Amino acid sequence: MSGQILAVDRLSMRFGGIVAVNELSFEAERRKITALIGPNGAGKTTVFNCITGFYKPTSGAIHLTHEDGSAFALERLNDFRISKQAKVARTFQNIRLFPGMTALENLMVAQHNALMRASGLTFLGLIGASSWRQAEQRAIDLATVWLKRVGLIDRADDAAGNLPYGDQRRLEIARAMCTEPALLCLDEPAAGLNARESGALSELLLSIRSEHGTSILLIEHDMSVVMEISDHVVVMDYGVKIAEGTPQQVRDDPKVIAAYLGADEQEARAMMETGS
Amino acid sequence: MLDTKPAFILKKASLSALVALVLFSLMIGLRTEAGPEGKLIYWTRFGDLATIVAIVFGGSIVIELLRQWIGPVGAAALVPAWLQKLMDFVGRWLGPALLGFAILVPVIFYDQRYILDLAILVLTYVMLGWGLNVVVGLAGLLDLGYVAFYAVGAYSYALLATTFGLSFWICLPLAGILAAFWGVLLGFPVLRLRGDYLAIVTLAFGEIIRLVLINWQDFTGGPNGISGIPRPSFFGIPLTADEDGFAARFGLEFSPTHRVVFLFYVILAMALLTNWVTIRLRRLPIGRAWEALREDEVACRALGINITATKLTAFATGAMFGGFAGAFFATRQGFISPESFTFQESALVLAIVVLGGMGSQLGVALAAVAMIGGFELFRGLDQYRMLVFGFAMVLLMIWRPRGLVGHRAPTVFLKQSRAISSDLVKEGHG
């Protein structure tokens, strides 16, 4: 089944007098990769924080629909419930792993809610019930699968803070996937990666989409990644949507070029016409 | 990497000596006094000054050498391989050896009442340290009012036992539950606070409990405290010289040491239970959530972890262990008053946790032995006791800034459990 997974409706976010996001509406299709791009300060991360519950939007609605038809109004859910119930996972622009815990432990923490149920709210786990031990083994197995997928299986027992930067980025994605999300929100996953690493990242994201059926919402500055993997691109500038469409359509949109070059629309149009 | 060249060490030592020279030239080098006619007279003591500077110079070299030996991460290469192997061996067997020794203490020191009493005191602090370790070491919540839960446990037992005549073994879980309840009560208002603010509110909470205990005369007995608290029985058999007492029943000659030994094993069992539960909890999702909370609260929220519930369970668990220890304290002393539950106690327990290496069970036990036992050890030094003790603490913190046990053991592993250097582990921020 396809259709939309996420519908953002007239979302506004004000911080005092500053309007970070103004009446933004867009949709994300199920099992597709939707990219949110725009110049620095366009309000992309604010939109992300509204979707993942770190900010409460000033006005507007964010609807999330699961494949089984259950719907959630994300603007009303508490932060941790967005991950627990609505199954929205996210990563952070500046990586937020648990540096003093091993890679494996990071992925185990991500399965907290499932494990909490299995441990009978700790009491079954405390007496070492066999049902708990099986559940723990399953959790380790799931973590192992993801460690293999992101190529970190050999570093499973190393502290996350000791991993190289690129590995930390991939581990954060693996951790988000261990919550078994319906929608995965990635905030600049390719930032700081070299060309080879961002190529591998694109492959990973494409395989997450096709093999797990997880929908992906992506903020990214690396245009090669955006153009290669996105099915749909939404462009923001100064808190409003200025364009959307396929990567090709967006690339040729004069408004987008104007926003990125800092020129006004007329100049951009003229530039395009002269072919420079 | 540390510089190991002699020139570097000499340079550092010279600098220290220079600072000492400047500092002490006026303080020691010149001595002034009011003369017989009220005139200020002065004389020089350059000999003493030279001695002090020489001591600083020599001491600085020694400290620098020691620092590079037992020093922070990266200095391991300086330690010879055999010593490293020995240290690994000691590290592995220290815990079991300590436990074995603890079990044998009453046998070895049966005739030495002073040592038995001291051992009970040390174990009480070990238990308090392990309890606070859950809150501070694992969950990273700085709690300066831990003594409040100790007090709640002690007064719970004292009041229940003296008013309703309930036995120690019934009151013990009740005291734990009541303390956990107060832990949750404290937890609620401070959920949103972090770091310094959290520390101040918990500090205030500890004081509030103490002031209530002092001023609520008709309930708690006020500053007079509660006396005549029943002693624990050996599973129903009183440890007295009576006919139905422990000694008579088992055909032994009565000795007051029986009770002390019994108390020793009670607190040992309680402390070990605390340790076992904590180790177990660390491997359960709740324990991992505590540690994750210490590492990064925002990431926890993004992973669907209920921060409120996680913090409250940490407070409640820590408080519960404090309550158990409090009930034991009350039954051992037979008399409690608010004077036993001052901020001093909170600070001492926190010092034990920090000194031990936050989050490390073995470290906390070692630190409790060092703090309580070490303090007694220096008793012979009279008025210099505090000075020597403080100096020892400062030295320890220079060599082991992250506590005696400066690494974290992972709770789960695939192939090999590798200790994580404490440089990576966060202290928590709220």
ipTM of the complex: 0.88
A124 touches chain B (CB under 8 A): no
The answer to whether B367 touches B356, Cβ cutoff 8 Å, is: yes
Separation in Å, CA of B424 to nearest CA in chain A: 5
A19 against B68, higher pLDDT = A19
- What confidence tier does B208 reach under pLDDT thresholds 50, 70, 90? very high
- Distance between CA atoms of residues B385 and B318, nearest Å: 32
Task: Give this prediction's pTM.
Answer: 0.82
Vertex A15: Cα angle to A11 and A21 (nearest 5): 30
Whole-number pLDDT of residue B70: 62
Between chains, do A80 and B288 touch, taking CB under 8 Å as contact? Answer: no
Across A175-182, average pLDDT: 92
Whole-number pLDDT of residue B78: 52
B417 against A232, higher pLDDT = A232
- Is pLDDT of B76 > 60? no
B425 touches chain A (CB under 8 A): yes
- Is pLDDT of A147 > 90? yes
Across A23-38, average pLDDT: 90
3-state class (DSSP) for residue A232? strand
Residue A272: half-sphere exposure toward Cβ, Cα within 13 Å: 15
The answer to whether B226 touches B159, Cβ cutoff 8 Å, is: yes
B240 against B1, higher pLDDT = B240
Long-range contacts of B359-362, Cβ-Cβ distance < 8 Å, separation of 24 or more: B359/B133, B359/B137, B359/B138, B359/B291, B359/B408, B359/B425, B360/B133, B360/B137, B360/B403, B360/B404, B360/B405, B360/B407, B360/B408, B361/B130, B361/B133, B361/B275, B361/B278, B361/B279, B362/B94, B362/B95, B362/B98, B362/B405
Highest-confidence segment of A109-123, B36-50, B173-187 = B173-187
Whole-number pLDDT of residue A271: 63
Which residues of chain A lie closer than 8 angstroms to B422, CB-CB?
A: 100
Looking at chain B, which residue has its C-alpha nearest residue A159?
A: B420
Whole-number pLDDT of residue A267: 67
- What confidence tier does B318 reach under pLDDT thresholds 50, 70, 90? very high
Whole-number pLDDT of residue B203: 92
The answer to whether B153 touches B318, Cβ cutoff 8 Å, is: no
| CA end-to-end distance (rounded Å), chain A | 43
Pairing of strands B420-421, B407-408: antiparallel
The answer to whether B202 touches B145, Cβ cutoff 8 Å, is: yes
- Distance between CA atoms of residues B1 and B11, nearest Å: 17
CATH class of A1-87+181-247: alpha beta
Which residues of chain A lie closer than 8 angstroms to B313, CB-CB?
A: 122
- Distance between CA atoms of residues B428 and B423, nearest Å: 13
The answer to whether B125 touches B352, Cβ cutoff 8 Å, is: yes
User: How large a percentage of chain B has pLDDT more than 70?
Assistant: 96
Mean of the per-residue pLDDT values of chain B = 85
Across B219-236, average pLDDT: 83
- The DSSP result for B306-344, as a single string, is -HHHHHHHHHHHHHHHHHHHHHHHHHHHSEE-GGGGSHH
Across A178-188, average pLDDT: 91
Whole-number pLDDT of residue B376: 81
Q: Where in chain A is the domain with CATH 3.40.50.300?
A: 1-87+181-247
C-alpha radius of gyration, chain A, whole number: 20
3-state class (DSSP) for residue B235? coil
Between chains, do B303 and A79 touch, taking CB under 8 Å as contact? Answer: no
Whole-number pLDDT of residue B4: 60
pLDDT digits (tens, 9 = 90+) for B146-181: 999 999 999 999 999 988 888 888 889 999 999 999
- Distance between CA atoms of residues A146 and A170, nearest Å: 10
Which residues of chain A lie closer than 8 angstroms to B289, CB-CB?
A: 109, 112
B242 against B227, higher pLDDT = B227
Whole-number pLDDT of residue A274: 63
Across A48-70, average pLDDT: 88
B417 touches chain A (CB under 8 A): yes
Between chains, do B304 and A161 touch, taking CB under 8 Å as contact? Answer: no
Interface mutation vs chain B, best among A52, A112, A162, A217, most B CBs within 10 Å = A112
Tell me which amino acid residue A205 is: L
The answer to whether B325 touches B175, Cβ cutoff 8 Å, is: no
Beta-bridged to residue A236, according to DSSP, are A241
- What confidence tier does B426 reach under pLDDT thresholds 50, 70, 90? confident
Pick the CATH number of B101-399 from 1.10.3470, 1.10.150, 1.20.950, 1.10.20: 1.10.3470
pLDDT digits (tens, 9 = 90+) for B326-341: 999 999 988 999 998 9
3-state class (DSSP) for residue A225? helix
Q: Show me where the domains of chain B are located.
A: 6-74, 101-399
pLDDT digits (tens, 9 = 90+) for B88-111: 777 778 888 888 888 888 888 888
Across A9-19, average pLDDT: 89
Whole-number pLDDT of residue B373: 84
Between chains, do A108 and B412 touch, taking CB under 8 Å as contact? Answer: yes
Q: Which residue has the tokens 């808190």?
A: A239
A138 touches chain B (CB under 8 A): no
Whole-number pLDDT of residue B223: 86
Vertex B45: Cα angle to B44 and B50 (nearest 5): 130
Vertex B32: Cα angle to B26 and B34 (nearest 5): 160
Separation in Å, CA of A17 to nearest CA in chain B: 26
Between chains, do A157 and B415 touch, taking CB under 8 Å as contact? Answer: yes
Q: E-strand spans in B280-430? A: 335-336, 407-408, 420-421
Between chains, do B296 and A84 touch, taking CB under 8 Å as contact? Answer: no
Across B402-420, average pLDDT: 80
- What confidence tier does A174 reach under pLDDT thresholds 50, 70, 90? very high
Which residues of chain A lie closer than 8 angstroms to B301, CB-CB?
A: 53-54, 79-80, 83
pLDDT digits (tens, 9 = 90+) for B233-269: 777 777 777 777 777 777 777 777 888 888 999 999 9
- What confidence tier does A276 reach under pLDDT thresholds 50, 70, 90? very low
The answer to whether B218 touches B224, Cβ cutoff 8 Å, is: no
Looking at chain A, which residue has its C-alpha nearest residue B417?
A: A157
pLDDT digits (tens, 9 = 90+) for A94-116: 999 999 899 999 999 999 988 88
- What confidence tier does A257 reach under pLDDT thresholds 50, 70, 90? confident
The number of C-beta contacts closer than 8 angstroms across A and B is 135
The answer to whether A184 touches A51, Cβ cutoff 8 Å, is: no
